[in-house]
Each structure stands twice: as C-alpha cells, then as structure tokens.
Structure 1
C-alpha cells in the first residue's frame, strides 16, 4: 500500500494522524464507539482491522444512528472506566483542525482540508470524512496488515456517502480514489464492464439497454463505446435526483475488487437500502455485518 498521508487531502491532517497513531499504540485497551449506520460501520471496521492485525485489545460498540436521536440533542461520548475511547461521528459538522476542541478521548469527525489543483495550483477546500481518516490511521498503525489491506478498497466510500458529490466536483474524493487505484487496491472500469451492477442506482437508465451493451462491449472500438454510453445515459441527464459529478462516477468510474462481480458503489448502494430502520435492529445488523466485512473484505457477495 502507498501512504495516504502523502496525498494532498491529508497534508493538513498528517500530523494529527501520526499523533493519534502513537496515542493508540501507547494505550493498553481501546474502545471504539460509532453509530449504527453504514459510515459508522466502515470507519469502525477500518480501525478494527488494524487492532486485529496487531493483536491490540479492544472493544467495539455501535450506538443509535443520528436518525434515532432528536435533532435538539447532541450525542455525548461515554468514557470507559479503563482504556482509550475512540468516538466516531461521521455526520457531525465539519471542523477546522485548529478549532477541534481538546477532549479526553479521540474524536474522529469530518475535517476541513485544502488541496491544490491544476497547473496554477488553485486551492480548493473540502471535507475529509471519517472513513478515509480511519483508513489512514489503520495503515499508519500496521502498514501491511492483512486485514487492513483487505478493507483498503473501501477507504474512499465515506466520501461517496457524503453530499459533496451531489452538488459539485469533489477534489478530495477524486484524489483518494485515484491514489487507491494507483496502488492497486481496485481497478476502475466503465459501467458496461461491471458484471453485476446494482439496478436502480441511476434513475432513468434502461437496464435492458445496459444488458445489450454489456454483451457487445468487448467487440466495440473506443468510438463505438463512447457513442453507445452517451446514448445509454442521455435519458438520465435531466433527472433531478442525480448530480452530474455523481452520474459521471457511476458511468465511468466503477471500482472493482479482485474477482467480485459487484462493484464497490453497488455494494454501498445495496447495503444502504437493506439497512434496518429500527434502532435496535440496526445495531445488531451493524455488528453482524462488521464481522462479515472483516472476514471477507466485501459488504455483500456476488
């Protein structure tokens, strides 16, 4: 694996990640608390993978997700009697690093970071989500751990779950995605090269036309493929529920892992749709799914 901390999105937070890594290593016992939603599960699992690889003592706990907490209430961390608490808050407001309050626990929350793009190095700001932070933290603790490497392809999925791509191009997501591709965590393919993409991800897309395109894709040249894809997605362009940046990702940048027939974003989509609404059921579901995820490196199996 290549070092995520050397990428532009992590420039502002590199020092913090290194310090947190040492703080965790120095603790005898770690408690990980995260909400029982998909972002919480992904972030928690990244850290748990490192603890399993190193043999560190830990306990995990899934908390009620934000949708089960009244809007006027703020989730308060419950400090354990022994050990270090890591409190993961995926959908808390984005903090500037220098404004993050001092706490008796490790607070993993979205952080505002800057990246510089293009030949003129223009600055763009965005939010570095908790899943990417936890993936970088896990890799820092055990760079080539078996479990850490197994979950690595999902390091950019927290950014996908955030709303940034619903409005504009997200430089943070693109930078992390490209880094993971270059290190070989996954390969990027266009939609017709995904054997079993989840239906319903692109409103207005003809599944029948996609199926026909998949069958003839390998025999087509580049120009024919481009024309066919343009025809396929034309009816989706006016659909208000899907932004152009997200549509481009779903059409041109599907993330494939190993021999799995289901791309990463399809796994995310299907897992979210199957998530229980009941608070108690969601916590049980999250725990069982985390166990499976840590064993297989997949949220679902093709």
Structure 2
C-alpha cells in the first residue's frame, strides 16, 4: 500500500520477498572500521522502531542516500515515511536545515553537505544524524594510511545491506553505493582513497563491471570537456580489434583537450576515461546516470521535492536513475 501524505512525502507499508545472494557486509571491511560501532548503534535503533521517518534534502545525494535505506525497509517490511527537505542551495547561507521531530517513531536525517566529523566528536541529537564521517584507509603495496570522508550514501548503503543482506531491492540499488563520493568535491582536487576503495569492493562483489569509456555503449555527453563525440564513436567501432598499446594511445589522443582544460581534475578525468561503472549489459554507466539527473534537476524548490520523490520511486522499481 502506498498513500500520499503530502507533496514529496510517502508512507510505505508492505513486505517484499527477499531474493538473490547476500552482499558483502561493508561494516566488516577496513574502510568502515572507524565507524563500525557508530553505524551498528544506528542499526539497533532502526530495528527496534515501529515507524521510521526518513528526511533528506531534495538533491541527488539526498535522494540516493534515502533510497538506499528505503530499499532495505521495503525488503524487510519496516514501516516508514519519506520526506524531502529543501536542498542546500535553497537555504540561506546563515541558516541550517533543521528536521522536524515526529510525534512518534524514529527520525533519520540524511545530511550530505554537513561538515565531515570524527565519530568521537559528533554532537548528540534526538534523531539519527547521518553526516559525512572521517575515516582512515590503507591502500597500495606499502599500505600507507590516508584519510578521507565517508559520505552519507555509502553509509546508507552499508546500513541497507546490514538490514537486508539478501534483499532484492537492496541489491538493485547496490551499484549506486559509491555515487555520493563521486558527487563530493574530493575528486576535484586529488586522489580520493575512500572512493577508490569502495569502488573496488563493489566491483569485486559483482555490483558492476569497471570498463574504459569506449566500452560504454551510450555514455552521457558533456562529462568530459572538449571530448570529440565523433572521435569517440570511431574509437568504439574499432576498439575490439585494437591491442592494449593502441587503445592507450587512442584514449590519450581522445582526451588530450580535457587535459588542457581547468574544468576537470586529473583524478576525475582518470575515472571518466578508465573506470566507468557498468551494471550487467547496460548501455549507460552509473556515473552517466548521475550526471544526467544532476543536470536536469528542477531549480524550483517545490518542483525539486516532487522530482526527487518520483526519481526515488523509479530507482526502487528499476534500479536505473532516470
């Protein structure tokens, strides 16, 4: 049963059967070591609640984080209400989004653009506040420690899989678990160890394949400044007959204009050229979906809330962001 509560607010009250194999428990991976206890306390609160209220800003990060939790709730039959709040750019600079506490049930406030906190410095609230968290990551052959921010979408994906490890809808949304990190600014300046680590975890479990740009049938246009679409199409046609050296040379020539553009950082360009995330045999990669949705987002506050709810519904049904 789905009943409209108000514009952008929905309540779901039904159970979907579990299907598919178990996903990797992100909470036991080294990436989540620093925040494991904190997120497990969230799980305890969710499991003992008879009603959960999900609040998130009406933007792409808010939508993805909220949908991750919705997927698990639908899989295991947790009753919840969804509410989209004004996006960050609709809030005056000297104000902050303050969620309204419900009369009953548990409130979860997904806050993508809050400052990044260390777990032991988080302020207390009368609700679950999901905000970017500082974590340490060890990568490379020398296992050098680096620090980064674990975004809200990744946290919601971890909570979702812990709640519903065999859930069909939880698995359907799994390929989007690293998209919140893509939407953050870290990749615009330097290599992001958190993004790379989570991306590789998801690849290894089979959530998606990582392929170079020419192997994506219909990537979104406009993601790489100065890219010749005609040259890309020619490269796609001949890609299967080329050896590794020829492919590398052709790709370097293809993206040369982008290397000379200040509009795109080298780490983000490398991801767009060599690390496209493709689910099954889909014609479009995950980041292209995110790019297209982000660029077509309504500017009006009320329209944005309605739009976010429609996208969430479609994503939960199809596993495609459109």
Matches within 5 A, 1:1-302: 1-300=23-322
Structure 1 residue matching 2:83: 3-state secondary structure: strand
Deviation at residue 120 of structure 1 after TM alignment: 3.4
Question: Do 1:8 and 1:175's aligned partners in 2 also have CA atoms closer than 8 Å?
Answer: no
Equivalents in 2 of 1:6, 1:119: separation in Å? 21
Question: Do 1:39 and 1:131's aligned partners in 2 also have CA atoms closer than 8 Å?
Answer: yes
Deviation at residue 245 of structure 1 after TM alignment: 0.2
Which stretches in structure 1 are left out of the alignment for 5+ residues? none
54-63 or 120-129: which moved more? Answer: 120-129
Equivalents in 1 of 2:141, 2:285: separation in Å? 33
Equivalents in 2 of 1:215, 1:117: separation in Å? 36
Aligned length, in residue pairs: 300
TM-score by length of 1: 0.98
Deviation at residue 3 of structure 1 after TM alignment: 1.6
Deviation at residue 15 of structure 1 after TM alignment: 1.0
Structure 1 residue matching 2:34: 3-state secondary structure: coil
Structure 1 residue matching 2:234: 3-state secondary structure: helix
TM-score by length of 2: 0.92
Question: Do 1:7 and 1:175's aligned partners in 2 also have CA atoms closer than 8 Å?
Answer: no
Deviation at residue 121 of structure 1 after TM alignment: 2.7
Cα-to-partner distance string for 1:62-93 (whole Å, 9 max, x where unaligned): 00101000000011121000000000100011
Equivalents in 1 of 2:41, 2:161: separation in Å? 14
Structure 1 residue matching 2:294: 3-state secondary structure: helix
Deviation at residue 231 of structure 1 after TM alignment: 1.0
Deviation at residue 16 of structure 1 after TM alignment: 1.3
Which stretches in structure 2 are left out of the alignment for 5+ residues? 1-22
Cα-to-partner distance string for 1:216-273 (whole Å, 9 max, x where unaligned): 1011111111111111111210100100000000000000012321100100100001
Equivalents in 1 of 2:257, 2:289: separation in Å? 24
Deviation at residue 117 of structure 1 after TM alignment: 2.3
Deviation at residue 61 of structure 1 after TM alignment: 0.1
